[in-house]
Homo-oligomer: A and B are copies of this chain.
Amino acid sequence: MTTMTDVARAAGVSVMTVSNVLSGRRRVSPETRERVLRAVAELDYQVNLTARNLRYGRSGSIALLVPQFDHAYFGALGARVARAIADLGRQVVIEQTTASPEGELSALSLARLHMYDGAIFSVVGLREAELDRIRDSIPIVLLGEREVPARFDHVMMGNVEGARLAVRHMLDRGSRRVLIAGGQRGQDALGMSRARTLGWLRAHDEVGIQADESLILHMTQLDIAHARRAVAAAVAADPGIDGVFGVTDDVAIGALAGLRDVGRQVPEDVQVVGFDNLEIGAHIYPELTSVDPSSDWIVDNAVRLLQARMGDDPPSEAEHLVSPVRLVERGSTRD
């Protein structure tokens, strides 16, 4: 391992001069500079960022903590955050949180945060009490469809409104028995499933239809394969179902497959709407009507809040934002 001292010796200068050449923080005469750079090249020297960071007290990089890498939504989120953060001249590093045995808040993960100048934390499986354990060691902005301690900046999707729009759209177009795949009973709007189920209820109220709670299909996992099986089974058991609101696009895509499996036509027999507006939805058949959660808006705001909190005088009040949503109408619902 070559260090700055090695380079200094090779170039016949002091370490400080090498440091200055490499960081560009002080003027160095062209000849000295030249000699240093030659030594750097010759020894193939690379600065040790761990040491530099320890000295600086910051790292220049920001963490994005997501529950799963292999999920289109988080992939898109990562790409968006990376783009926004790159504009700030910083680097993004993604860490997966649920891979660790203890979960999102293992002592290690928590300590790891110190290695970053800030973090955007997509919370999913975390209870509020656990979240509360996070100290303000570094600036953190939370993303995710659940309530969080008030002291954190938080950006979430317009879950209730988005679900209301989606279900209303189907009810307005003739559906009467709209299954909510991935929904969850309960009156409060704590988690994503409950919030979207609340939107499902609201849409029924608006139209004056009694929502049938047996149409709330709870799912332990919100992936395509599970949704496919669950929806196929639900429709087989209740042939009157003429609409499916998938709480995520993955669930809705699974629903489309499940409906095919039991011989239902979309959108003639059953209309389907998803939530997330993933890119793939515009290219499958039938093309998926979906709630667009304004991902760019979410990321822009998260980055803005993080930047503010990392600045010289961080705001005293935390912001809690809800993204605007809109329905993108495609072929899985009727005109």
Contacts and interface: CB of A to CB of B under 8 A. Distances in A.
Interface of A: 1, 44, 46-51, 53-54, 59, 61, 68-72, 74-76, 78-80, 82-83, 86, 91-96, 98-100, 108, 110-115, 135, 137, 224-225, 228, 253-254, 256-257, 260, 279-280, 282-285
Given A46-B137, A54-B54, A257 B283 contact: yes
A54 to B, nearest CB: 5
Contact of A78 (B59, B70, B82, B280): B70
B280 A260 contact: no
A253 to B, nearest CB: 6
Tally of this chain's copies: 2
A225 to B, nearest CB: 7
Contact of A91 (B76, B112, B254, B279): B112
30 contacts: A46-B114, A49-B112, A49-B115, A50-B53, A50-B54, A50-B59, A51-B54, A61-B112, A68-B79, A69-B75, A70-B75, A70-B76, A70-B79, A78-B96, A79-B96, A82-B96, A82-B98, A83-B99, A86-B99, A86-B100, A91-B95, A91-B100, A91-B112, A93-B95, A94-B95, A224-B283, A253-B280, A254-B283, A280-B280, A284-B285
Contact of A74 (B46, B75, B110): B75
A95 B60 CA distance: 14
A279 B99 contact: no
Going nearest first, the 5 A-B pairs with the smallest beta carbon separation are: A69-B78, A70-B79, A94-B94, A75-B75, A257-B283
A50 B256 contact: no
A235 to B, nearest CB: 16
Contacts of A93: 93-95
Given A70-B76, A74-B75, A93-B93, A225 B283 contact: yes
Nearest to A137: B46
Contacts of A282: 225
A1 B111 CA distance: 13
